[in-house]
Structure 1
Amino acid sequence: MFAGHFGLAAGVRAKAPEVPLWALMLATQLLDVAFVPLLLTGAETMDDKGGSGYGELVIHADYSHSLLGALIIAFLAGLLAKRIWGGKAGRIIGAVVFSHWILDLVVHRADMPLLPGNLGDLPLLGFGAWRFEGASIALELILLAAGFVMYARSVLRKSSDGRGMNAAILSSAVLGTLLLFSLVTDVAGLF
């Protein structure tokens, strides 16, 4: 679901132009950004028992992708965004950060704990859409396409008076290309 997160960020940007696109893109991946140092230190792990292709890795992100961990990261990111861009942007950034957990809940197999470190050994969550590769890829493609269309319409509408039309078209083309590239690399397992 790596690429689908970016599509959501592009769609949010269309409705919240006061929040920089880069901040939304980072926010939608912030749980994975937090996962990297935890993976490198061994606090969180991945295994390829199910394979190493699209959606086949089993991710043990017991801190960064726990429900409480995601809420804490979203809250902290929202507070930082509020200080920089104001209250509305803070709420938007916090919601976008947490959207990562919601989308991962749909695609992950049951490997997402409620509490950090799976404290209390509670049931793990995940609906497992990755087991159905075609459906999972279609879901990501829908998120990417919807986000791109919303973004492109937004920037083109703002420049409909003729000023900045070339920049709006270029901006939309670049974003569309990057979104498509993110899906191709995600599905191909390149990143």
Structure 2
Amino acid sequence: MFVGHYAAAIAAKAVEPRAPLWTYALAAQLVDVAWGGLVIAGVERLSLDPDLPGSALVLEHMPYTHSLPAAVLWSVGAAAAARFLLRLPAVAAGMLGAVVFSHWLLDLIVHRPDLALWFGGPKVGFALWNHPVPEQALEIGLIAMAAAAWGWRRGVEGQGWRAPVVFLGFLVALQIVAMLLPAEGGAAGMGLSALGAYLAVTLAAAFADRPRRPQAP
């Protein structure tokens, strides 16, 4: 799961628009942002197996980001930061926390069994990665439906459909690039690539969420 995670961010923006889209986009991948940093630092571990169907990632050790307790803690921490540091309304902050937790739920669908139910506990995952066509269809379908909901919300607010369409196109293009790039570079390289991609989407979300300039009379 890559761009499919951003469906939660876009849907949350449609439901609770008082938080900026960039905060939702960052929340959707906050767990993986932390994962990328910990992989680079050697705290969490992965390897690559190009012979695997779908994703070549073999996620060996990631208790601090992708275990269920860790996902809950990251979600609560993000909601608290949004409320007390960004000064967002309580409902918007809670929505941001829910978006962070959605990452674990979506990973549960696609990951092979590498998500620990508790620290040191059994690992779960429904392994949709092993079926690349349905998995890709799920990701694109999720962000398309979420973008439609956000477009409707912007239409109600008089903002128009352009931003959702452009942002959706950017995410689809990013997904295609990720599919075509060979899985190589080692753990640190994967961590750096992931962080670069998440930064690019966060910046794109900030750009897409800009208020439309009023037209001159």
- TM-score by length of structure 2 reads 0.77
Deviates more, 1:94-103 or 1:174-183: 174-183
Q: Deviations over 1:166-189 (max 9, x none)?
A: xx3432232122221232133334
Q: Is 1:152 equivalent to 2:144 in the alignment?
A: no
Q: CA deviation at 1:89?
A: 1.3
What's the C-alpha RMSD, in Å, of the aligned pairs?
1.8
Corresponding position: 1:64 with 2:56: no
- Is the contact between residue 53 and residue 130 of structure 2 (CA under 8 Å) also seen in structure 1? no
Question: How far apart are the structure 2 equivalents of 1:102 and 1:111?
Answer: 13
Give 1:15-164 correspondences, 5 Å limit.
15-49=15-49, 51=51, 54-60=54-60, 61-83=62-84, 84-116=87-119, 118=120, 122-159=121-158, 164=159
Give the secondary-structure state (helix, strand or coil) at the position aligned to 1:46.
Answer: strand
Alpha carbons 1:111, 1:124 under 8 Å: kept: yes
Question: For the Cα contact (< 8 Å) 2:67–2:115, is it kept in 1?
Answer: yes
Structure 1 residues 112 and 137, CA, compared in 2 at 3 Å: closer, same or farther?
same
Which letter does structure 1 place at the counterpart of 2:148?
V
Q: 2:171 aligns with which of 179, 183, 191?
A: 179
- State percent identity of aligned pairs: 32
C-alpha offsets along residues 49-103 of structure 1, whole Å, 9 cap, x if unaligned?
3547742211232220010111101100011112220211121011000000000
> Deviation above 4 Å: which 4+ runs of structure 1?
none
How far apart, in 2, do the equivalents of 1:82 and 1:39 lie? 29
1:7 and 2:11 are equivalent in the alignment: no
Alpha-carbon distance between aligned partners in 2 of 1:100 and 1:174, rounded to the nearest angstrom? 23
CA-to-partner distance for each residue in 1:102-129, whole Å, 9 max, x for gaps?
000110000111234x2xxx21111101
Q: TM-score, normalised by structure 1?
A: 0.87
Structure 2 counterpart of 1:19, one-letter code: A
Letter in 2 for 1:35: W
Of the structure 1 ranges 88-97 and 175-184, higher mean CA displacement relative to structure 2 is found in: 175-184
Structure 2, unaligned stretches of length 5 or more?
Answer: 183-192, 194-217
Gaps of 5+ in 1: none
Match for 2:127: what amino acid? G
How big is the shift at 1:154? 1.3
